[in-house]
Amino acid sequence: MEGQGTQQTGKKVIFSGIQPSGTLTLGNYLGAIRNWKQLEDEYQCIYSVVDLHAITVRQEPAQLRRRCTELMAIYLAAGLNPEKTLIYCQSHVPAHAELAWILGCYTYLGELQRMTQYKDKAQKHAANLNAGLLTYPVLMAADILLYQADLVPIGADQKQHLELTRDIAIRFNGAYGDTFVVPDGYFPKVGARIRSLQEPARKMSKSDPEDTYIALLDTPEAIRRKFKRAVTDSEASVRFDPEGKPGVSNLMSILGAITGDSMEKIEADFAGQGYGAFKTAVADAVVAELEPIQNEHRRLMADKAYIETIMRASAERASAIAARTMRKVRRKVGLAPFSL
């Protein structure tokens, strides 16, 4: 089905979500949140803090609650405008869970068991291999289809889940006639693949040791220290060669993602200079980018009432959009009509 935009705006809809389950990294920021702000005018953007996804692994309740508020504050601190963009907490809109149940009845076990992320998680969480780990992508499909999203910004690791979302939407539309927009992925050009500072063969990840990633809320001192210790090579020349010089190339990508400079320009700027000066420049750029966000984040976290106001208003607007899809789905599936 073709996207028609939301009834309010007529704009194409973008939906994405981040789990409030850990520290956000510089990779999350450069690969996702930083780009979101640029989409705000052209699209109706909807960004969710997906706490229902987070509970597929055990969370400490107080910590989960705090991280949800914190992630909301990060969305806001990164410059998203809550008047335009919907930023809300997934569990505040019960239709996510409701649609996930219905879509689960149109998803085959074999499809879910084939998901690589499920297979990884099944190994990692063998002691708590709950059904939610398996049905995780159905909830993600519900998130996306509920808002009739046209585009879904995601990292490469979520591509398979988006494919499944499309398959479910096409299957449902095939059975009942046009109901859901079939969404496309939206893949950022820069910053999508920020790598570990110690093992650049790996993606920068918050589940790796601390000195391998930059956390969004790291102090400037920690950021400088981590870049100083980042692995490079023995050639002492700033040259972009992801295969031969993965460490240096990663640092160049980080710098380029922030400044917008090409790799050629960075090479020219640092020609004849050692890695010391280069690393300092990368650290300075990252600190300059993150410091204002951190300050705003701190300010917002001291004003929880404001964050709650935004959360409530956004959840209300999100619920209204979701309700339209749910009415349609209930009718198509044949659930008994009712009105309160």
Judged by the rule CB under 6 A, the positions of this chain that interact with ligand TRP are 15-17, 19, 50, 53, 140, 143-144, 152, 154, 158
In the bound state with ligand TRP, the residue whose beta carbon lies nearer, of 121 and 297, is 121
Active site (annotated) includes residue 159: no
Residue 54 · residue 20 · CB < 8 Å = yes
Residue 195 φ then ψ, to 5°: -105, 170
27 is annotated as contributing to ligand binding: yes
Distance separating alpha carbons of residues 319 and 97, to the nearest angstrom: 12
Q: Which residue has the tokens 């992925």?
A: 185
- Residue 189 known to be catalytic: no
> What is the number of the residue whose Cβ is closest to ligand TRP?
17
Of residues 137 and 256, the one with the C-beta less far from ligand TRP: 137
> What's the closest the beta carbon of residue 12 comes to ligand TRP, in angstroms?
15
CB 115 within 8 A of CB 164: yes
Q: Using an 8 Å Cβ cutoff, are 218 and 226 in contact? A: yes
* Per annotation, catalytic residue among 11, 37, 159, 206: 206
> Least distance in Å: CB of 143 to ligand TRP?
4
Least Å from the CB of residue 185 to ligand TRP:
9
Joined together, the tokens standing for residue 290 give: 């993150």
Active-site annotation holds for 121: yes
DSSP 3-state assignment of 86?
Answer: strand
Place of tokens 């063969």: 201
Nearer to ligand TRP, 158 or 196 (CB): 158
Minimum CB distance to ligand TRP smaller for 17 or for 256: 17
The distance of closest approach from Cβ of residue 158 to ligand TRP in the complex, given in angstroms and rounded to an integer, is 5
- Give the Å distances, CA to CA, from 222 to 86, 160, 196, 219: 33, 35, 15, 5
Q: Any idea which residues carry the catalytic annotation?
A: 121, 203, 206
Residue numbering of the annotated binding site for L-tryptophan? 143
